[in-house]
Chain A
Amino acid sequence: MTLPEAAGLGLAFIARLITGAQGHWHGSTPKAEQRIYFANHQSHFDWVLIWAALPHDLRAATRPIAARDYWTKTPFKHWLTREVFNAVYVARQRGSDGAAADEDPLEPLMEALRHGDSLVIFPEGTRGNAADPAPFKSGLYALAQAFPEVPLVPAWIDNVQRVMPKGEVVPVPILCTVVFGPSIALAPAEERRAFLDRARSAVIALRDVA
């Protein structure tokens, strides 16, 4: 076992110890196929929770998105995201961090999907603390357009804001669940806003299942 693998197992163990990280599958099954998971976003812990709730075999092929400027700043952060989580790096703003000014910020995601990897995205763009998730950003729509054959699986993460509220560094042990729902797909000729709202309500609908 390599060091990153061991670190991954260790992190998944800690996540389970602290949150339980129970994955519930309602309307979809954990399956080794290419997928885009999208979920509500309330805490830095969200990604680890989804990752720990997935069966072990699916973890290696499921990648998070990380902001390049923040997650490559120190050698440890860079190692953690590159070696353990195999993150896809994106530039937060066009033209920053030495990226070409005309590079599409979604290009690294498209690249990963062309390779056949699964992605986990948080379409709200930022961590929210309201009861309902914020309106979704359009990235999900662009990905659905470019890869119509990849199932889009909604997920609702419950309770995680209590584990580590914004601004705190030590997590409190509280049980959390991740509910994965039935996959959705972009309908032919569906409008961008209509699709994004539909995706958002697919996530919210899982709250009552949780």
Chain B
Amino acid sequence: MADLRALSVSQQVGLLFVVLFGLLGIVTIVAFGKSLRDLTAEQAALRERFARELRALWTAAVVFWIAWVSGPIGSTLLFGFVSFLTLRELVSLTHTRRADHRSLLLAFFVVLPLQYVLVGMRLINAFTVFIPVYVFFAIPVISALANDPFRFLERTAKIQWGVTVTVYGLSHAPALLLLDLPRYRERGAFLVFFLVFVVVAAQVGEEIASRRLRRRPVARAISRSFSWPAFGVGVGVAALVGLLLDWITPFAPLASIAMGAIAGAAGMLGQFVMQALKRDAGVRSATGALSVTGAVGLLDRLAPLCFAAPVFFHAVRGYFGI
């Protein structure tokens, strides 16, 4: 441990990525070895799903690595692009009308770039209020100018909500990378890693628990697997992982547990909300298989992060009182 502390910050972060890619590499090689055996149809389907998830993990790991290597400008651009793809998917899934055209143009080509410019310039206060205050004001104005009163509130709310989740929510991930905390400069990558890791751990914990426990789902019409006991297990796992990762964070151990639990819970509930949205849009199958134009699965994977990142970000700021 003392040796680790002697390394410079960028060496520590580099080591983090070496470990991450090493783990992924080992899992991939083992999975490949197992795939050479004869499989039943059921096993093959499971294997395929696993391979798809593994590919997504690889992609995510590479994205984060590039974000870290390329510095503030690069990471802002990269997350901006991911945000664009996610908003594109969300808008495709919701029903918009002709009169929404200008508002959507505003969301994609003005709000999204501006939000990430504010993040890249580390204007923390400006970027926390830009969407909830100014965009909240601008979108209904543009929509009203389009001269179509049909379901006006519903349409405006959809666009505002979509922008909040996919642009505002996700932009907190690069903001964490750029956050300068006392005695913790240039180590934002650890915070993002902590966040992603606890959120994923909570998801995995919940998934396994819901299969083992088989409790009554809370809202059967929305999700057949989401139940309170499984959610509790997910929060517990996130808290435990938070404690185990305490050494990479600037928090005290107890705060690490709390942060892990908060981020994990926000992520799981965000995923649950996204399932409700997909039901509404008529997407029946789980991730991957295409059943509706526009459902490509990116939104599914990022929803937990979109919901957890702002909560985590402000919890961190609150903890340090900045």
Q: Contact residues of A with B, CB < 8 Å?
A: 20, 22, 24, 158-159, 162, 165, 168, 170, 172-177, 210
Contact = CB atoms under 8 A, between A and B. Distances in A.
A19 to B, nearest CB: 9
B162 to A, nearest CB: 12
Contacts of A165: 98, 101
Contacts of A172: 91, 101, 104-105, 108
B96 A162 contact: yes
Contact of B88 (A22, A173, A177, A210): A173
B92 A175 contact: yes
Interface of B: 84, 87-89, 91-92, 96, 98, 101, 104-105, 108-109, 290, 293-294, 296
A162 B92 CA distance: 9
Say whether chain B's binding surface is mostly helix, strand, loop, or mixed.
Answer: helix
Contacts of B98: 165
Contacts of B296: 20, 175
B92 A174 contact: yes
A174 B294 contact: yes
Given A168-B101, A175-B89, A176-B293, 4 more contacts: A162-B96, A165-B98, A173-B84, A173-B88
Contact of B91 (A24, A168, A174, A177): A174
A88 B250 CA distance: 66
B184 to A, nearest CB: 37
A168 B146 CA distance: 12
A26 B287 CA distance: 21
A173 B101 contact: no
A172 B146 CA distance: 15
Nearest to A172: B104
Say whether chain A's binding surface is mostly helix, strand, loop, or mixed.
Answer: loop
18 contacts: A20-B88, A20-B294, A20-B296, A24-B290, A159-B293, A165-B101, A170-B109, A172-B91, A172-B101, A173-B88, A173-B91, A173-B108, A174-B92, A175-B88, A175-B294, A176-B293, A177-B293, A210-B293
Contacts of B101: 165, 168, 172
Nearest to B295: A175
A159 B92 contact: yes
A8 B2 CA distance: 57
**Closest 7 interchain pairs by CB?**
A175-B294, A175-B92, A173-B88, A172-B104, A165-B98, A177-B293, A158-B293
A174 B88 contact: yes
Nearest to B108: A173
Contacts of B108: 172-173
A170 B102 CA distance: 9
A175 B96 CA distance: 13
Contacts of B109: 170
A64 B102 CA distance: 30
A50 to B, nearest CB: 15
B35 to A, nearest CB: 27
A22 B108 CA distance: 21
A22 B292 CA distance: 12
A158 B98 CA distance: 16
Contacts of A159: 92, 293-294
B248 to A, nearest CB: 36
A210 B294 CA distance: 10
Nearest to A170: B105
B158 to A, nearest CB: 13
Nearest to B291: A210
Nearest to B89: A175
